[in-house]
Structure 1
């Protein structure tokens, strides 16, 4: 009986942005078990989407996993040394005849802001979306490239 109502309960909790049932609270606990404990700052800082940030001589590359999204579902902004990625993953209406035991895919809006290793040229940012991976390439600002300093003896 409960399995029949799970998709509608999940949808209701997304609309109201709060748990609609004890099942939602349990699901949230299993998704982020230490989220309410301030003594676990490393676990609490994990965000969505997960990011890989790498640096080369002249550019910074950020890769974000965004499965199930389309490029028009995501907004990217860059301001000096801050990168923001935000968007929304919409709930797909499930067929009533399906007999769900569990729904683990997450839905809803997300917003992730990270500090980049250095300032970048915001007018030279390029983004590519391929197979659920968003790749953002940013050219370093001239003032941040640095120069080699000779040591006098």
Structure 2
């Protein structure tokens, strides 16, 4: 056996290249990686670079002012029709699916599949003041705060009994 046969990027990957069925160990390895990526997706644990990417996709930036909360999510390769937004009890949920652009690639490092990302925005937001915009693969969601929640701090008087 030649050393080059041990290198994964030189190994034949398709049945046509190998003259027989695909290597079952490569298929098992790929399936196990996919299984662990799917399992750890909701935990947000930085397991490995690939797993960390899968668990925190899409990547977001949250900023807050006295009057609003702004969430910016990078979703390259998607269109508005691929995304679904919902807001319930102060939780913004971004849901969608990134589909493969090719039929049965031999090798791919591109992420594809369904995703769900939920962000707790707080109780101060006003669900009637929500706006979303999408441009060049960047989704921007702006949620206004309720007028009575601008300060958020309430002083309580202490009386003697």
Determine if the TM-score, normalized by the shorter chain, exceeds 0.5: yes
SS in 1 for 2:141: strand
Residue number in structure 2 paired with 1:24: 30
Residue number in structure 2 paired with 1:130: 135
| Alpha-carbon shift at residue 146 of structure 1 (Å) | 2.1
Conserved? CA contact 2:92–2:120, under 8 Å: yes
SS in 2 for 1:51: strand
Distance across 1 between alignment mates of 2:123 and 2:13 = 51
Residues 67-82 of structure 1: pairs in structure 2 closer than 5 A? 67-82=76-91
Residues 31-70 of structure 1: pairs in structure 2 closer than 5 A? 35=40, 42-43=45-46, 46-70=55-79
Residues 79-118 of structure 1: pairs in structure 2 closer than 5 A? 79-94=88-103, 102-118=107-123
Distance across 2 between alignment mates of 1:107 and 1:147 = 41
| Alpha-carbon shift at residue 4 of structure 1 (Å) | 7.4
* 1:29-68, Cα deviation, whole Å (9 max, x unpaired): 9x96xx59xxx97526842211111001100000111010
Relative contact order higher in (CA < 8 Å, ≥ 6 apart): 1
Count of aligned residue pairs for this structure pair: 128
Residue number in structure 2 paired with 1:11: none
CA 1:118/1:149 → structure 2, altered by over 3 Å: closer, same or farther?
A: closer
Question: Structure 1: 5+ residue runs without aligned partners?
Answer: 6-19
SS in 1 for 2:148: helix
Distance across 2 between alignment mates of 1:142 and 1:59 = 10
| Alpha-carbon shift at residue 80 of structure 1 (Å) | 3.2
Distance across 1 between alignment mates of 2:104 and 2:44 = 40
Residue number in structure 1 paired with 2:8: none
| Alpha-carbon shift at residue 28 of structure 1 (Å) | 4.0
TM-score (norm 1): 0.66
Residue number in structure 2 paired with 1:139: 144
| Alpha-carbon shift at residue 142 of structure 1 (Å) | 2.4
